[in-house]
Structure formats: C-alpha cells, structure tokens
A = this chain, B = another copy of it.
C-alpha cells in the first residue's frame, strides 16, 4: 500500500484533495478485461459497479476500432467524414420516429446543456422540473438544478423539484401514492407558470438511478408528462444511466413507460469510456435550434469517437447483450429476493435488468457491505437519498458465472454483517 499512498499524495498535490476516490483506502487499478479489474495489489476484482465499460473493460473490438481510426484520421465535423454519418444512422435506428436527429457531444453534461438550450428556446420558457434527488451534470445551468449532490449554487428560482414516489418505502395504497405525487407535480407546474418561468422541460432519468431506483406507481411518469405537455413543456429523458439496453427489456429507459420524449440525452456507456455523448431529438426541434444558433462542438462527432460508438452498438448486437442482460437480470432478482428473506435489515429488492440493489435499513450497513465486498474482491457501491441502497450496475457482459460469484460473496458479506 505504500506506493498507493505515495501516489495519493502526488494526486492531492496536482488534482487537489477534493477529487474524490471510492473506499476508505483508495483502490489503485492497473488493468481491466471484461468484468475484471486488476488492482495494483495484484488482486482481480469483479467489477459489479461500472456502467461506462458497457461492453466490457478493454473490449477488443472497441479498442481496435479506436486504434484503427486514430491511426487513420481524427478530424472535426466541418469536414465531411463517412464514419460519423454511419454512426448517427446506426444510433438513430435504435430510436422510434420522430426521434430522427442526433447532435453529438462529449459528455452527459454537454448533452443535458444542449437539450435544455433547445427546450428553452423552443418553448420560450425557462422553468425546469427535476426530481428532488437527482443529478444531470456539472455545468452552471445543471448545478442550479442539482438536488442530489452538494453544490454551492442554490436551486434556481426557475426549478421545481418533485419527490419521486417509491412504493417500496410507502405503505399506503398505490392509488393514494400516485394521486399525491401527481398533485405535487401539478402544484409544481402551476407554480412555475404563475411565477412567470413557465415550463421548458421535465428532465428525468427513467430509472431514477440516483434517487435509489424507486418503484414508482403505474401511471406516475405518464401523468407528470401529461401535466408538463399541457403547460407547453418538453420531455427530456436523461438516458445516461438507463439507456443502451441496461434494463434488459428495452434499449431505452423511456420505452419502459411507452413515453415519447422530445429530447433524449446520452452519455456514459456510449463510447465504452471514450468521451462521447449525444442529444437525440426530432427534425423540427434540431432544425429550429440550428437555424437560430451556430452550434459547433470541436471534438464531438470526430471519427474516432464515432468509431468507438459504432463498435459499442455492434458489440451489443453481436454479443446479444440486451437479451443476456434480461436473463442475468431476472436471475439476479431471484437471488436477491432470496437474500432479502434471510436478513431483516434488507427492506427491499430494487432495480431492473443489470441495475439492481438491495435496500437496507440504514446507511451504516450499506457502507460496511460495500467496503467488505471490496475485501472479498467485488466492486459495488451504494446510492439513494439516504445511501441505503446497494448499487450493482456492472458492464453488460456480466454473465451467469459472474452473477453466481457476486451472489455468493454478497451472501457471505450479509451473513458476516448479521453475525457482527
């Protein structure tokens, strides 16, 4: 550990002490392959946490695509290049019409920035609805609507934050929970309209990942969307976490609810770690924005990023990762339900597909399990309003054997916690 300590000191002296690392003792990594990460300590860790390496750490097809294109040409979109068009076509094929246009960017933050610019300009309104425990990026416009992380900017006067209902944590009948949540949304919309901000956008993650994967009442999202549209607002699905087949059943999280957002934002898994994001929208919205704004993004849409994105989509197809995710995710649910019955401190099984977790009675327990699992060679994390939900969100190449290993270690960890 002494070399890790020395490296941490050098990191503090360059990136500063507030550039956070996971775990009580930072984990230094040296290599990765598939769902495995090798530590500087020589240990191979099962990665059950990271969603960015979507088709596996150092996926050879993606690595080759990046290496080949980087050696051939990397240029911006002011010149014409075939690969960016090819990628745009392949990506848009995964969306239902009228989501037929894409603007490529470099990150989820850039995607949400652009989506909100488009929404504000189109509606002539500034108001934004978000959930009251959410995060959509690190720019100023996104900081003023950040409710889940500490930011010094106060919540914007044009922002209203909704408490997303969670049937797992609410003993009342579903209809009562739904009615109350929709009444709150209606009040938020009314407040935005009355204050003169109006509603430009409802920006949400269809899985409510940061919120801790709440089990929302049937009809909740549809109801909020109806209120937002009635006020002239647009629907922006932030698929940075819920997209690219993560749920197993659908390519995009918003499809779980039969929603047709006007804007969809993409990030994290899109380039398997290569910086890549996008806004997918309708021809009308992109044309309107493009006619009124000279929007250029130097790095976005370069052929290397496009080649990385294209390789991710092809690997998803070739390895049938969405179908695999559904199967492994379903079995995960069964195994987690079993664990839940064995420990009274587990209050719920959360999530869908390869984004799941166990809710505990208190944050001290999730913290101990996350640290303990690291010692057992498995990387997971925790999430939610009170940090009470174990967060398991592996690369989609996570197979049955990996799940068995995860479940065994998690069972042992929970037993140890029970015995402690």
Contact = CB atoms under 8 A, between A and B. Distances in A.
A70 interface: yes
Given A67-B70, A116-B140, A296-B20, A76 B58 contact: no
A79 to B, nearest CB: 5
A123 interface: no
Contact of A58 (B30, B31, B73, B150): B73
Contacts of A8: 80
Contact of A102 (B15, B274, B304): B15
Interface centre among A21, A67, A79 (most CB of B within 10 A): A79
Interface string A54-91: 00011010110011001111111111111011001100
Interface string A1-41: 00010011011011111111110001111111000010010
Interface stretch (A189-197, A284-292, A314-322): A284-292
Nearest to A10: B85
Interface string A85-116: 10011001000000011111011111001101
Give the number of times this chain occurs in the complex, counting copies.
2
Contact of A63 (B4, B67, B302): B67
A115 B82 CA distance: 35
Contacts of A106: 106-107, 110, 275, 299
A307 to B, nearest CB: 12
Interface stretch (A227-235, A265-273, A362-370): A265-273
A121 interface: yes
Given A15-B102, A89-B10, A290-B16, A63 B73 contact: no
A2 B96 CA distance: 30
A394 interface: no
Nearest to A285: B16
Contacts of A301: 15, 19
Nearest to A290: B18
A139 interface: yes
A168 to B, nearest CB: 26
28 contacts: A16-B101, A26-B80, A28-B81, A28-B82, A30-B81, A32-B74, A52-B74, A57-B75, A58-B72, A58-B73, A60-B71, A63-B70, A67-B67, A106-B107, A107-B297, A109-B297, A110-B138, A113-B140, A116-B140, A120-B140, A138-B295, A138-B296, A140-B141, A149-B293, A151-B292, A151-B294, A267-B298, A268-B298
- Pick the 9 closest A-B CB pairs, nearest first: A18-B290, A14-B88, A67-B67, A74-B273, A275-B299, A275-B275, A28-B80, A152-B292, A149-B294
